[in-house]
Amino acid sequence: MHSPSSASNRLSRITAGLDVTTRTLCRWGSYLTLVMVLLMLLNVVLRYGFELGWIALQESVTYLHACAFLLGLGYTLQIDEHVRVDVFYRRFSARRQALVNLLGSLFLLLPVCAFLLYYSVPYAVESWKLLETSKEPGGLPLVFILKSVIPLGIVLLGLQGISEAIKNFQRWQESKAGQ
């Protein structure tokens, strides 16, 4: 039989692994943001300086923006920068905040992720079946890849939600023991 501390250590290792994965993917997303800004600058210079423009260049900025946003969802949760209706929360004790965060993850975040995943996976699969391309002439032929990033972002958010739920459960337990 395993001791409670060994189970807690295992959970801590799991959350640490999920947190590192989230940070790494967000870092990649931040590089996409830099590329997006450079492409947007190029687009503006070409359009207004040389009266040139390409739909594919414009779409690439949109694609990169979507990817950066979706890869950053989990990290935003991890660093506690997500939207929170903070009417009472800030006045709560650390123990009560941990409980609110735990229950919010279990009963709001994770079910919403499951719901979104349920609908986004078939959406992406159907796009792959068609090898969907842009409807715009000269657009990018990669719509199916872009649509695949939607369930990926949701999975990453869900995994980070699990990590946050575990950490909040541990905080709640530790604060209970300290009382």
Q: What is the pLDDT of residues 10-35, one digit of tens each?
A: 888 989 999 999 999 888 888 889 99
- Which residues 6+ apart lie within 8 Å of 120 measured at CB? 147, 150, 151, 154
pLDDT tens profile 61-119: 999 999 999 988 999 998 887 877 777 878 888 889 899 899 999 999 999 999 999 99
Please give the pLDDT value at position 173.
86
* Integer Cα distance of 177 and 179 in angstroms: 6
Please give the pLDDT value at position 28.
84
Please give the pLDDT value at position 50.
93
pLDDT tens profile 124-173: 999 999 999 999 999 999 999 999 999 999 999 999 999 999 999 988 98
Q: Write down the domain spans for the chain.
A: 4-177
User: Does 2 have pLDDT greater than 60?
Assistant: no
* Integer Cα distance of 98 and 19 in angstroms: 18
Report which DSSP code applies to 131.
T
Please give the pLDDT value at position 3.
61
Closest CA to 66 of 152, 161, 155: 152
Whose structure tokens read 């903070």?
Answer: 86
